[in-house]
Structure 1
Amino acid sequence: MKILVTGASGFIGHHVVQAVVSQGLRAFPVLRAGSDRRDLEAHADRIRVVDLADAASCREAVRGVDVVIHLAGLTRARSLQAFREVNVHGVSRLVTACHEAAPGLKRFVLVSSIAAAGPGVRGAPRRETDPCEPVTPYGVSKLEGEEALRAEAGSIPWTIVRPPVVYGPRERDVLTLFKLCRRGVVPIVGWRDKHYSVVYGPDLARAIVELALEPRASGRVFYVAERNVYSYMEFVGAIGRAMGRVPPRPRVPHLVPRIIALCGSLTQPFRRRPPLVSLSKLPEILAPGWVCATDAVREILGDVAPTDLERGARETAAWYRESGWV
């Protein structure tokens, strides 16, 4: 079976390619021109350099494949329109290409985000059947991407996966926390604990591939996360133990991230890349929690995320050290 993986040079994409190959399937990674392909060449059947903004390029990419796993997307952008261009219109172009050049496609898997649904708290986690209430431009664009797939898929079987916080080898945003744990202080925002569902990257990748092959997953949405839910204090503590130093974790009022977000937004025009913290990102930071229920995926696949945070943080820290990232 031939499986096309967009966004293959990214954190999750790389692990998905490895998961495809480990199941004895053929992986066809899709990369942007200029993306680093060195670590993929040992695993991939044939790397395809594709411009997902170009319809003809999309058609050529999907020709002859059996499954599409679509991971390519923007997590940071300067405007909602910029998010939409990739996270919504990119989905539409790829689905159209599948209709035109891969009429026998067995599954289209869209990897979305819990951000498409909105916050959830411990005791009232987000479920697949809940109404979606995104709180950031990124979340809005991911939800609209899901809606585009549902509206345009037609006869193409589809599955949507919404991961929560994802960490693991090759992840660059959580890497900042690993570095802070080694040398600095990690502030905890707010006087009340905020709780999060998390998933280890390699576990998520295996679950994505298994859902792509599972007939019962067709036409459904799934959250994928480990069973445990963690406060941010616990999350940072696990990373600190993995790094050999649990940092000071002072609590700070919501005013602090508001000021940082304002500074990020004011300096955004002068940055090459949008800042990690900005006013548009602030509702995500101040949300009471990002917790999801995983009953649906466990019902058909069992325990798809067996790696708990302590073990996953240790393995991630070891990879960062070996790779010279920390």
Structure 2
Amino acid sequence: MNILLTGSTGFVGKHLANNYRIHRQVVRDGEKRGQEPYFTVESINEDTDWNGAFDGVDVVIHLAGLAHSGTFSCEDYQSINTQGTVRLAHAAAKNGVKRFVFVSSIGVNGTSTEDQPFTFDETANPHNAYAQSKYNAELGLKQISENVGLEVVIVRPTLVYGPNAPGNFGMLAKLASKVPVLPFGVANNRRDFIAVQNLVDLLVTCATHPEAAGHTFLASDGEAVSTKDFTNAIAKGVGKKILQLPIPIGVMRLVGKLTGRSPMIEQLYGNLEVDPSNIKEVLGWIPPLTMEQAMTSLRDSGKINNDSYD
């Protein structure tokens, strides 16, 4: 399968492009690039000109889009994450592309779980403009599939971790590598995560496996852990030892409220589990790496020890 990859300069895209053969990468004007074939665009939105992008392409893996951030408006998300995705899929189908693998978000399912893990077939409950834009893109892709037969595969990852990961994982990795004491001693929640190595392997499987078409997959390592265990795994991965203080969750929530970081505190102490069983049932896929194995890449990469997270 010849793959066209969008988002190849992002965190997940770099790992995919560096470890798998990609037929063509989509980049924006001015972005750094290597020697592989590229297709350059100003932006990916409802007006993007895709003429010439799909020569020899069998599958699109679509990673590009606006990430969750307070700096973007609802209109921004809809323009790029929804309309940009739909336009790309229309153009791909028109030019004979067989399959479209779309990386959505677990936020389409909701913010947290209590008694039961999220499943691929439950009612969507997007909780913010970002998640809504991803869900709207999913709906648009399914309509295209029904109308013209484009094979669509939807992947909703849990939090992705690995060397140089952005967001909350980058913050936790920096803390675990530099601070000997963390406040998660009584954090007994359960959250699913996925190593970037596992995610890119799954995406390539979704691009090539004959049974993947038409399915939605909730991507994780398959081992839910607490924030305490997760940060302990990070520390072990970077060769550090940390002490976990039993700070009451109520105190941490108060700190979050006073500092304006309540959403982050809820992410750290809340539950978010997924049921990825249909991935194994449909694709026969299991994560190549355990969390412990994946965390060793933090130390092997040398990214934390040389202060690159500063």
Shorter-chain TM range is 0.7 to 0.9
Cα distance change, pair 122–225 in 1 and its aligned pair in 2 (3 A)? farther
SS in 2 for 1:162: strand
Tell me the amino acid that sits aligned with residue 145 of structure 1.
A
Identify the residue that residue 256 of structure 2 maps to in structure 1: 257
TM-score by length of 2: 0.85
Aligned-pair identity (%): 28
Deviations 1:296-315 (A, max 9, x none): 00113334313222221121
Query: 1:321 deviation in Å?
Result: 4.2
Query: 1:212 deviation in Å?
Result: 1.2
Correspondence list, 1:39-188, <5 A: 41=35, 44=36, 46-50=37-41, 51-53=43-45, 55-77=47-69, 78=71, 79-100=73-94, 102=95, 104-121=96-113, 124-153=116-145, 154=147, 155-173=149-167, 174-184=169-179, 185-188=181-184
Task: State the alpha-carbon separation in 2 of the partners of residues 203 and 310 from structure 1.
Answer: 13
Identify the residue that residue 223 of structure 1 maps to in structure 2: 218
Query: 1:208 deviation in Å?
Result: 0.6
The alignment status of 1:203 with 2:194, answered yes or no, reads no
Task: State the alpha-carbon separation in 2 of the partners of residues 192 and 241 from structure 1.
Answer: 18
Tell me the amino acid that sits aligned with residue 86 of structure 1.
I
Q: 2:296 aligns with which of 295, 310, 314?
A: 314
TM-score by length of 1: 0.82
Tell me the amino acid that sits aligned with residue 93 of structure 1.
R
Contact 1:122/1:195 (8 A) holds in 2: no
SS in 1 for 2:188: coil
Task: State the alpha-carbon separation in 1 of the partners of residues 170 and 54 from structure 2.
Answer: 33
Tell me the amino acid that sits aligned with residue 147 of structure 1.
L
Query: 1:195 deviation in Å?
Result: 1.5
Contact 1:195/1:291 (8 A) holds in 2: yes
Contact 2:174/2:304 (8 A) holds in 1: no
Cα distance change, pair 260–168 in 1 and its aligned pair in 2 (3 A)? same
Count of residues in correspondence between the two structures? 297
Q: 1:32 aligns with which of 28, 44, 50?
A: 28
Deviations 1:167-220 (A, max 9, x none): 11232222221111122354449x763321111101110111111111211111
The alignment status of 1:293 with 2:270, answered yes or no, reads no
Query: 1:16 deviation in Å?
Result: 2.1
Q: 1:193 aligns with which of 188, 196, 207?
A: 188
Identify the residue that residue 273 of structure 1 maps to in structure 2: none
Query: 1:287 deviation in Å?
Result: 7.8
Structure 2 unaligned segments of length 5 or more: list them.
none
Cα distance change, pair 54–112 in 1 and its aligned pair in 2 (3 A)? closer
Cα distance change, pair 197–63 in 1 and its aligned pair in 2 (3 A)? same
Identify the residue that residue 2 of structure 1 maps to in structure 2: 2
Cα distance change, pair 254–324 in 1 and its aligned pair in 2 (3 A)? closer
SS in 2 for 1:161: strand
Contact 1:65/1:105 (8 A) holds in 2: yes
Contact 1:258/1:282 (8 A) holds in 2: no
Query: 1:236 deviation in Å?
Result: 0.9
Contact 1:19/1:206 (8 A) holds in 2: no
Task: State the alpha-carbon separation in 2 of the partners of residues 47 and 323 from structure 1.
Answer: 32
Q: 1:212 aligns with which of 200, 207, 216?
A: 207
Query: 1:282 deviation in Å?
Result: 5.8
Deviations 1:36-91 (A, max 9, x none): 224xx3xx3x0222232364532332344111000001113332222222211111
SS in 1 for 2:192: strand
Task: State the alpha-carbon separation in 1 of the partners of residues 306 and 143 from structure 2.
Answer: 43
Task: State the alpha-carbon separation in 2 of the partners of residues 119 and 299 from structure 1.
Answer: 26
Query: 1:323 deviation in Å?
Result: 7.0
Q: 1:242 aligns with which of 237, 242, 266?
A: 237
Query: 1:318 deviation in Å?
Result: 2.4
Task: State the alpha-carbon separation in 1 of the partners of residues 242 and 265 from structure 2.
Answer: 27
Task: State the alpha-carbon separation in 2 of the partners of residues 170 and 282 from structure 1.
Answer: 19
